[in-house]
Structure 1
Amino acid sequence: MKKFIDVVKNRRSIYAIGKESEYSIEQIVERLREVQNHVPTAFNSQTSRLVVLSGEANEKFWELIYTVQKDVLSQDMWDYMSPVIVGAKEGLGTVLFFEDREAVATMPTQGQRTEAYKQNNSANAQYATWLALAEMNLGGSLQHFNIGYEQGFDSAVREMFDLPNSFEMIAQIPFGSIVQPAAEKEVIAGEEKVRLIK
């Protein structure tokens, strides 16, 4: 078993992914289910919903994203992001992150606090998932395509996979074997990020 800090270090944004893995997609899903049972949520609200796509479903999803985004993004942004979209189709699968708006509505909060808790719940689910994938030697990257429930940007995804209308898409992590590792990254001093005051 890897040490926690090693898993944290190994979790990087990996864009060049493939379909090889020592784990079946069913084993990956089972691991994610186990992890999600222990992800903290505000008031134990458990509002996050994950949908794992593989095979044809994964390809259909990224074809939709490609078709939509090529007409939405500026040319410069399209040049930057289109390889990410194309590369995502080459992976083993994609985790879609949703927040169930019906579950969110049951939290004993309102207004901005509800929105903050919803985003925190999803962020916890995303990071825990990413760490779990890294622990299984799988690479991935966090993406935010076609998000926007109020504007209807994610409605086509719900329709494509027959998901409840209450599901609001927050993010995606395409994942797979690591074809090309991430480059070294610069980090600012730990003392800047974490301060000790006595």
Structure 2
Amino acid sequence: MVKDLYTAMRERRSIYGISKEKVVSEERIEEVIEAAVKHTPSAFNSQSSRVVLLFGENHDKLWDITKETLRKVVPEGKFDSTEKKINSFSDGYGTVLFFDDDSVVQSLQEQFPLYKDNFPVWSQQANGMLQYAIWTSLEAEGLGASLQHYNPLIDEEVKSQWNIPQQWKLIAQMPFGKPTAAPGEKKFLPLEERFKIYR
């Protein structure tokens, strides 16, 4: 059963233990991600966020690329822990890649020079909202996920492998799958430090 919004928001966590076991159909995953891409807001309705969804061999290939890229920069004696971490992402069912289309941002900067410095920030904010929307949607469907940032190390090979337009800037990677381990304890700051009300 799909969780309601507030349950999914509360239970959405960084889940690192994931497996390839099927939880819902690929078509359902595509459906919820498509809905998030279509309906997540953006400044000036710019719709500058882009998403690539990887399943099967394509998902595995992404993490092979990441592992071999890191092998070149991580000291050999420290690579074991890095390899285990990357393998844990590869163990999942799929990965969502998040991009910003820089050509959209640049076009808006030209059209509205008064806000030129704001458009890259607003584009990142829209992408962050999309990441949260997709992450929460995957949680609602019973999938665990985490958000990773191996850009810019893997950018060029990712673009080459999946024929990604050069103006798309890689922002984050979200491996997901059936949860196999509970998340760690989450600590919260007192709400009065973060939330104020004036009546």
TM normalised by structure 1 equals 0.89
Give RMSD over aligned pairs.
Answer: 2.0
Amino acid at match of 1:93: G
Q: Separation in 1 of the partners of 2:79 and 2:127?
A: 26
What stretches of structure 2 of length at least 5 have no aligned partner?
Answer: none
Q: Separation in 2 of the partners of 1:195 and 1:79?
A: 46
Q: Deviations over 1:160-179 (max 9, x none)?
A: 11111111100010000001
Equivalent in the alignment of 1:23: 24
Contact 2:49 2:101 (C-alpha < 8 Å) held by counterparts: yes
Q: CA deviation at 1:79?
A: 5.7
Equivalent in the alignment of 1:162: 163
Structure 1 residues 131-146: aligned runs within 5 Å: 131-146=136-151
Amino acid at match of 1:62: W
Q: CA deviation at 1:31?
A: 1.4
Equivalent in the alignment of 1:175: 176
Q: Deviations over 1:144-195 (max 9, x none)?
A: 00227xxxx5111000111111111000100000010102211111111112
Structure 1 residues 56-71: aligned runs within 5 Å: 56-71=57-72
Which residue among 95, 112, 115 is the counterpart of 2:117?
Answer: 112
Aligned residues: 194
Contact 1:21 1:138 (C-alpha < 8 Å) held by counterparts: no
Q: CA deviation at 1:76?
A: 9.1
Amino acid at match of 1:159: S
Q: Separation in 1 of the partners of 2:106 and 2:179?
A: 39
* Higher mean C-alpha displacement, 170-179 vs 78-87: 78-87
Q: Separation in 2 of the partners of 1:99 and 1:84?
A: 26
Amino acid at match of 1:97: F
Counting aligned pairs with the same residue, the percent is 34
Contact 1:12 1:182 (C-alpha < 8 Å) held by counterparts: yes
Contact 1:54 1:92 (C-alpha < 8 Å) held by counterparts: yes
Q: Which has the higher helix share?
A: 2
Contact 2:144 2:178 (C-alpha < 8 Å) held by counterparts: yes
Q: Secondary structure at the match of 2:39?
A: coil
What stretches of structure 1 of length at least 5 have no aligned partner?
Answer: none
Q: Deviations over 1:33-67 (max 9, x none)?
A: 01221101010000111001011011111001011
Q: Deviations over 1:101-121 (max 9, x none)?
A: 112222235543122112111
